[in-house]
Amino acid sequence: MMLRFFLVTAFFVFTAFFAEAQRFRMTAQYSMAQPLGTFNDYYPSYSGRGGHFSLEYFIMPEQLSVSLTAGVNDFKLQTSIGTGPGGNIPIGTSTKVFPMMVQANYYLPLDWALKPYVGLGGGQYYFTEEVFVGYDKEEINEGSYFGFVPELGFYHSLTETIELNLGFRYNHVFVEGENLQFLQFNFGLAYRFVKYQY
């Protein structure tokens, strides 16, 4: 149901894109994530394997936008077993998280070089869990769950259309009687179709 809503929303956003391209911004980000709570019990170290993409539409060019975001974070727990002199085989588990979100951002009306914003999003998180021995993998679980994400971040103009983006997200996912949480740090570049004066 949520996937259908996301795809229908994406259709209307892309249709509007061709009509009013100047109101859009695309952002591609590298993502790192740190599990929290019970999720941290399974994956005690942070994940540096992630990436996210967003397409943002400015309802009010100086203050308010809505965006579609999608991405992946890959959490891995790995060790190895010896196979003799100089030989090891990696073994472990991996959980990939694919969020598909609709998010609203509010840009603070401050006369700074950095343009800070606060955001709130909601949507569907798709999970796949695998076990692996060497190059052999087996999927042992998958699911789709609702979650939400508050975000703090800023944009900084590098040129008239290219911007630097930093964002901090708290992901809260409702998974079958327990809450799965992780912090996320995003770093990326954005392209605006025209330059707005915030």
Collect contacts of 80-88 with beta carbons under 8 A, ≥24 apart: none
pLDDT in tens, 129-162: 888 776 666 667 788 999 999 999 999 989 888 9
Global confidence as pTM: 0.78
The token pair at 163 is: 């911007």
pLDDT given at position 5: 54
One-letter amino acid identity for 175? Answer: V
Q: Which helix (H) or strand (E) holds 6?
A: helix 2-19
Residue 16 has pLDDT above 80, yes or no: no
pLDDT given at position 18: 46
Residue 108 has pLDDT above 70, yes or no: yes
104, 145, 150 from 101: Cα distances, Å:
10, 12, 12
pLDDT given at position 196: 54
pLDDT in tens, 74-88: 988 766 565 555 566
Task: Give the separation between CA 74 and CA 91, rounded to whole angstroms.
Answer: 16
pLDDT band at 106 (very low <50, low <70, confident <90, very high): very high
The token pair at 105 is: 């951002």
pLDDT given at position 146: 93
Q: 93 with 47: CB under 8 angstroms?
A: no
18, 19, 26, 79 from 15: Cα distances, Å:
6, 7, 15, 48
pLDDT given at position 22: 62
Mean pLDDT score across all residues of the chain: 82
Q: 100 with 146: CB under 8 angstroms?
A: no
Q: Work out the percent of the chain whose per-residue pLDDT is above 90.
A: 45
> Between the CA atoms of 141, 147, 150 and 151, what dihedral angle is there, to the nearest 10 degrees?
40
